[in-house]
Structure 1
């Protein structure tokens, strides 16, 4: 059974990721099957998450998981340790006495409960459920501005924390913050706020100079060495990398030129892109850097399967720089004019079509759990569907390793 799983970050007030909601479904071949929905969901949840490992999917943070009414009554959530999950009660579940008793049972066992997609003018009476749930997820798209501001004030249980979900803009985040919400979910953190005239700090242009030289047909290693040698931070990070366990050093590398030779041009492109993004992301949410790395690695793995193995490093940079407009707070088109990226990569990032357009769209569709688009794009690219979840989890794993190896946090 092919299982597709993605994740969406949940932030606290300081924009630190405290949990992820896991988005999942079975493979395309099961989409129109006659199997009972509860049984299918049960198989996905137990087989997929237990096989892959919740910790691998969330980096050790809590996982918000949707459970149907039947699965809650059958106490399927208890398969997972209470420290690792938040049980989401779907908005279409009628809160009758059987549901209340099942939730009470979970609560007594120490599970955190969340009411999903709450709408202020819901047809259901949630008063008994309000006494049990720890978190109410308020749908910012389906509630009016007035209602989403008043919900935290009108629900009397002071122990409940409110999560604003489907928050898509910085303005909505600020509104939720002012209204008393504790947690925030959506893609607001990845939307650029353009500040006219903001430039790349001068010392960071060394990264661009190295990238430009590496991308020439006949790179000048002496020039690359000279640029890095004049930048203490770059020199330190490069030597630290080649001496790390990731490169299994047989002997000490005592010069920048030897370090460059050990790394090789393809790895140099990736390393320079990674270091540049890390420095630019210092005052931004950590999740931006994580998301960029996941996109980069996911794209690199997929490139191999669509006949672009020789351009993997370019696809890696495409994913890496896909958030650079957010980091620099400038229009993406303006920034890309000054980066040594191929026209195909630029076109894909700007949505102009081209050779890598469908690949980039697939990466974005998968991370958002837009499964219909995922299946359609996979078909266009002639990628076996079963490879997608494997590559995505590999990308998560690799990103966690990079963060631990390079102290990016």
Structure 2
């Protein structure tokens, strides 16, 4: 039994490409460090790091008691970034840190402000993680830090101002909920090309649309039809035979799932940054679906849709209200997306809390975290297969 959950939060580079995932382990109760240690020990023994990160690096904060055990653990040191809060350094001798560095672990120091004296002492630290609002205070040190091979991570970015300031100061990596919100580059009104795409999605999700009409909508665009079939075959490698037609896809997967995959391809055609948003949304959709199954919902599709569209405002760079005005979704989905309320709101908010490792703040209680973790890992697997296929289609 694995008594907890481990979510992942993207960390971006200056081009807003995915640099790493910050891994967020949590157990219940969250303040019980012994339970967290047990959880992490079981995670190490049962999961490959690549399963959580899709081959990217994983940044993780570990209890000090576990750091000395790392060389004996199976996770690859070249893919693990150790996040050490400044207050934890007093419990570690410099030789401990040097030993970890010699094992090729990348060490990130987390502090509220930059400490130049501490930076001189910790030559093994190659990343300094600072709060989003610390950019003005550190700007004068950035050139020297970069010359010494030290990079800067701005954490918990919430606003455009914080992001712009961190960029201007010379930060290298960025993490925060700011990237999950619309930047409103286009104002409150959608450009014509994005409005046309939303209208196509609206036709897909018309509750009165028949299989024949959905086939006609997808089939009228041969590129969409071709990409959809390739994506289905890549994401659902366990199908009894290769899917070579939309009708066969509907037979194997159902009409609703075909709509969802068509929407993924349509949304991916938008020029948006960061590209990770669609992958995050897909993992959320599958997680919401798993939560709904565990709760015994007779119809899990609305929960899936709420997760899939939870980042559509950030992708479209438009307010969610404006987007939903053009899509005919169930009112309960709209409530979840707009306000986190209604019957589906707690499901979506629970998925978000799990993603950020906030097991002590789950809106829904009494959930089987072990089963949800398995479903979450399956969701990550499927999302990574989709990522690979979408990247192939773009080349």
What CA distance in whole angstroms lies between the structure 2 residues aligned with 1:253 and 1:230?
Answer: 16
Instruction: Return the offset for 1:157.
Output: 6.2
Q: Which one of the candidate residues 71, 87, 93 is aligned to 1:99? A: 93
Q: Determine the structure 1 residue equivalent to 2:376.
A: 392
Q: Counterpart of 1:67 in 2: which secondary structure?
A: coil
Is residue 298 of structure 1 aligned with residue 287 of structure 2? yes
CA contact (8 A) 1:20 1:64 kept: yes
Q: Deviations over 1:252-309 (max 9, x none)?
A: 746x5565555531222322322232223x4321210111001111011111121224
Q: Determine the structure 2 residue equivalent to 1:55.
A: 50
Segments of 5+ residues of structure 2 without an aligned counterpart are none
Is residue 287 of structure 1 aligned with residue 284 of structure 2? no
Q: Counterpart of 1:93 in 2: which secondary structure?
A: helix
Which aligned pairs between 1:219-230 and structure 2 lie closer than 5 A?
219-230=209-220
Is residue 163 of structure 1 aligned with residue 164 of structure 2? no
What CA distance in whole angstroms lies between the structure 2 residues aligned with 1:220 and 1:335?
Answer: 24
Cα gap change, 1:108 to 1:351, in 2 (>3 Å) = same
Which aligned pairs between 1:2-401 and structure 2 lie closer than 5 A?
2-28=3-29, 31=30, 37=33, 39-72=34-67, 74-76=68-70, 79=73, 80-95=75-90, 99-120=93-114, 126-141=118-133, 143=134, 146-153=136-143, 158-194=148-184, 195-196=186-187, 197-199=189-191, 201=193, 204-205=197-198, 207-213=200-206, 215-216=207-208, 219-241=209-231, 246=237, 248=239, 250=241, 253=244, 260=250, 263-280=253-270, 282-310=271-299, 312-351=300-339, 353-374=341-362, 377-379=363-365, 382-401=366-385
What CA distance in whole angstroms lies between the structure 1 residues aligned with 2:248 and 2:148?
Answer: 62
Instruction: Return the offset for 1:358.
Output: 0.9
Cα gap change, 1:152 to 1:78, in 2 (>3 Å) = farther
What CA distance in whole angstroms lies between the structure 2 residues aligned with 1:240 and 1:113?
Answer: 40
Q: Which has the higher contact order (CA 8 A, sep 6+)?
A: 2
TM-score where L is the length of structure 1: 0.84
What CA distance in whole angstroms lies between the structure 2 residues aligned with 1:327 and 1:373?
Answer: 27
CA contact (8 A) 1:299 1:363 kept: yes
What CA distance in whole angstroms lies between the structure 2 residues aligned with 1:146 and 1:405?
Answer: 41
What is the root-mean-square deviation in Å for CA atoms of aligned residues? 2.9
Aligned residues: 387
Instruction: Return the offset for 1:105.
Output: 1.7
What CA distance in whole angstroms lies between the structure 1 residues aligned with 2:297 and 2:180?
Answer: 28
What CA distance in whole angstroms lies between the structure 1 residues aligned with 2:276 and 2:223?
Answer: 23
What CA distance in whole angstroms lies between the structure 2 residues aligned with 1:200 and 1:249?
Answer: 41
CA contact (8 A) 1:68 1:89 kept: no
What CA distance in whole angstroms lies between the structure 1 residues aligned with 2:107 and 2:243?
Answer: 53
Cα gap change, 1:304 to 1:69, in 2 (>3 Å) = closer
Worse overlay, 356-365 or 77-86: 77-86
Instruction: Return the offset for 1:21.
Output: 1.6
Larger radius of gyration: 1
TM-score where L is the length of structure 2: 0.87
Instruction: Return the offset for 1:392.
Output: 2.1
What CA distance in whole angstroms lies between the structure 2 residues aligned with 1:232 and 1:86?
Answer: 44
